[in-house]
Amino acid sequence: MSLLGVLNICRRDIIGGVMHLLIQVLGRLMFGRYLLKILLKKQREVHELKSQINGVQRMAILKLKNNLDGHPLYRKKFFSVDIYNAVIQDNIFSVDNFREWLQHTRAITL
């Protein structure tokens, strides 16, 4: 059996300008070692942030995510973790304030 017969690319995404591949090998899913560490770290960060929010913050996060979902830089230059951080740590509740926050903290202009 050739190596190509064993590998199956299940998913291919470009996130932050970097190609991410989810590969199936002999029925098991595996990521590159470093990519997996990064993804697990991001998942922990998001989980920790989600555990800190109250009802008002939750609504602000949903509103921001809904309004920014179609933006071409969303999931490429800024991510949901930025929205969580802005709301939870800096009390950002509007799209305009988030734009200012993103420019100030990450030097990203929307």
Phi, psi of 22 (to 5 degrees): -105, 120
Distance CA 27, CA 4 (A): 14
Cβ count near 36 (within 10 Å): 11
What average pLDDT does the structure give for the chain? Answer: 75
Would you say the pTM of this structure is higher than 0.95? no
Q: Helices (DSSP H) in the chain: which residue ranges?
A: 3-6, 33-50, 55-68, 80-90, 95-106
> What are the pLDDT digits (tens) for 50-92?
777 888 998 999 999 999 999 999 988 998 889 988 998 899 9
- Is the predicted pLDDT of residue 6 greater than 50, yes or no? no
